[in-house]
Amino acid sequence: MISKRNLIFIGAPGAGKGTFSALLTREYPLAHISTGDILRGEIKRDTELGRQAAGLMKEGKLVPDQVVAGMVRNRLTEKDCEYGFILDGFPRTIGQAELLEEALKSLARKLDAVVYFKVDDDIILQRLTARISCKNCGEIYNKLFLPPKQDGVCDKCGGELFQRPDDSLETATERLKVFYANTQPLIDYYAAKGLLLTITELEMNAALAQLKAGLA
How many residues are given for the chain?
216
Active site residues: 17, 92, 131, 164, 175
Site map (CB under 6 A) of ligand ADP, residues 84-113, x = contact: -----xx-x---x-----------------
Q: How far is the CB of 33 from Zn ion (least distance, A)?
A: 23
Please choose, from the candidates 216, 211, 3, the residue with its C-alpha nearest in 3D space to the C-alpha of residue 117.
211
Rounded CA gap, 132 and 211, in Å? 29
Nearer Cβ to ligand ADP (4/175): 175
Q: Is 57 among the residues that bind ligand ADP (CB under 6 A)?
A: yes
Please choose, from the candidates 169, 216, 207, 210, the residue with its C-alpha nearest in 3D space to the C-alpha of residue 16.
207
Q: How far is the CB of 88 from Zn ion (least distance, A)?
A: 21
Q: Rule CB under 5 A: choose which of 22, 146, 153, 157 binds Zn ion.
A: 157
- The DSSP string of 95-141 is HHHHHHHHHHHHTT----EEEEEE--HHHHHHHHHTEEEETTT--EE
Q: Rule CB under 5 A: choose which of 53, 71, 134, 176 binds Zn ion.
A: 134
Please choose, from the candidates 181, 176, 211, the residue with its C-alpha nearest in 3D space to the C-alpha of residue 197.
211
Contact 102, 73 (CB under 8 A): no
Q: Is 139 among the residues that bind Zn ion (CB under 5 A)?
A: yes
Q: How far is the CB of 151 from Zn ion (least distance, A)?
A: 14
DSSP tally for the chain: helices H, then strands E: 8, 8
Q: How far is the CB of 2 from ligand ADP (least distance, A)?
A: 28
Q: How many CB atoms lie within 10 A of CB 45?
A: 9
Site map (CB under 6 A) of ligand ADP, residues 157-196, x = contact: ---------x--------x---------------------
Q: Which residues contact 162 (CB under 8 A, 6 or more apart)?
A: 132, 133, 135
Q: Pick what 134 binds: ligand ADP, Zn ion, none; C-beta below 5 to 8 Å, kind-dependent.
A: Zn ion
Site residues for Zn ion per CB under 5 A: 134, 136-137, 139, 154, 156-157, 159
Sites of contact with ligand ADP (CB under 6 A): 13, 34-36, 39, 56-57, 60-63, 68, 89-90, 92, 96, 166, 175
